Amino acid sequence: MVMSSKSVVFALLFASVDGARVARKRVSEDCYSPLDGKLLTTLNVCAAEEVLEVEDLVAARQCTLLSDERAFQSAALGQCTLVSIACDAQFADVLKAKQLNATLESMDAGEFYRKMSGTAKSFVEDSTSGVLSSDFYTAWRDLETIMARVEAAVQDSAGAAQLETIGTSVEGRDLKAVRLRGDGWSPGMPRLVLTFTVHAREWIVAMAGTYAVEKIVEKAKNDRSWLAGKEVVLVPMVNPDGFKHSHGFWRFHRKNMKVVDGILCTTGVDLNRNSGSSWGKFGASSRCAAETFRGESKLSEPEAQTLDRLFREAPMTAYFDVHSYGQYLLSDNSWTTDPHPRAAEFREFGSKIHFAMEARHGQTIKFGPSAQTLYVASGVLQDAATELGALGYTFELRPSGFQHLLGFTPNVREILPAAEECFAGILAGIANLDSV
């Protein structure tokens, strides 16, 4: 790789960093503290061999990879892509020696992310107002605050919704579901299941899940006939352990908090690679250090087992698994690019959801089969639900496109519009369940 003019400037900037600044520690620790004093660097990677070179450098220097798997998958196919890492100042010598095409983004990665996205904050509701304040969606919220908001919404539902404990996490936290069952519903009638916050670092999804619970419960309370003959079940926090960890220790944590034994293993299993569907095929890693580690066996994780039980309670008409980021609406299949036998049904039902999401704020949202539109992945929840008879979809919320720096750490301004776009799609799905 050839050094660009930016790379020369980058090298000079590296040389100007003194040891005192690199070693600086913050008085109070937060989820960005592991990045304090580290230099935030973007590398332009264009080939499979360059992917391996960068991976080796990251491991050898104990750098932190901040881009998601899309970056390396694109580069492995020969498409130039940007990969962001945080590393100590001495990494400059390595970059210069290997002539890597690199750009310095920030002298202090921790401060960069605090400024651009921020940390989670608690929120105290004004109990005298009688309504849930929209100020809740002006900042990121922590686990306790989010679950308190969900509980408050259900308590105010006048019986239209129930909050149930459906399982426990690896660390023993309750997994909660909000269930709304319209008059006359029985198993075999229209049923929609929704899951949120499968991946810990996707904070915007946790906010959208809270918003969806709040607004669906409010609508069901005000119109008792709205869900007649239908059941809607929402799991706003699939991965509470990982989510908690992402707030207090490491902002970019993705997996659950399973302690995995082995050399160089990192904590956790990817809950969206651990389902019983197509487990262990391409698009999920057997390496315990990988972000997409599939686990030791299918459904090895208690969170995945809980969702499997929920799926099998009664036939599902549709299933929505909400993630971030990129602004996609993805249908089956995820594990293969072969057309699904129900492709026409996926297009017809999904087009209504797609239209509603785009219409809410005029944003472009890409719609299509998951493996063809985004990338191939196996053991995912969307496919598991589809194998049980549902039309399974994945929502990928804001921000749009591939964001090598801020994909998982958007500005708080994105919270409410993302939640509104997600909710618009959910409403369209509920309205059209009878047509499936």
Give the global pTM: 0.91
Cα–Cα distance for residue pair 356/372, rounded to 1 Å:
22
* pLDDT of res. 7: 43
Letter string b/e over residues 257-269, b meaning 16 or more CB atoms within 10 A of that residue's CB:
bbeeeeeeeebbb
Q: What pLDDT is stored for residue 80 in this prediction?
A: 87
The whole-angstrom separation of Cα 232 and Cα 431 is 12
Q: Contact 266/288 with Cβ under 8 angstroms? A: yes
pLDDT value at residue 130 = 64
String of DSSP letters for 242-295 = HHHHHHHT-TT--S------STT--S---TTS-SSTTTTSTTSB--TTSTTB--
Of 371, 307, 384, the residue nearest 343 (C-alpha): 371
Q: Which two tokens stand for residue 172?
A: 């023993």
- Domains and their CATH numbers in the chain: 5-116 (3.30.70.340), 134-435 (3.40.630.10)
pLDDT tens for the chain, residues 1 to 436: 334 444 434 443 444 443 334 444 555 699 999 999 999 999 888 887 877 777 777 777 778 888 876 777 777 677 888 889 899 887 777 777 777 788 889 999 999 999 999 999 999 877 666 678 889 999 999 999 999 999 999 999 999 999 999 999 999 999 999 999 999 999 999 999 999 999 999 999 999 999 999 999 999 999 999 999 999 999 999 999 999 999 999 999 999 999 999 888 889 999 999 998 899 998 899 989 888 999 999 999 999 999 999 999 999 999 999 999 999 999 989 999 999 999 999 999 999 999 999 999 999 999 999 999 999 999 999 999 999 999 999 999 999 988 889 999 999 999 999 999 999 999 999 999 999 9
> What letter represents residue 23's amino acid?
A
Give the pLDDT confidence score for residue 263 in this predicted structure. Answer: 83
Helix axes 48-61, 69-76, angle to 10 degrees: 140
Reference 150, options 213, 218, 239; nearest CA is 213
Residue 362 main-chain phi, psi, to 5 deg: 75, 20
Instruction: Give the C-alpha distances (Å, rounded to integers) separating 373 from 2, 101, 333, 335, 365.
Output: 32, 29, 10, 12, 11
With CA atoms as reference, report the closest residue to 46 among 5, 103, 91, 100.
Answer: 100
Distance CA 257, CA 176 (A): 18
**Token pair belonging to 140:** 């990121």
Q: How far apart are CA 224 and CA 192, in angstroms?
A: 17
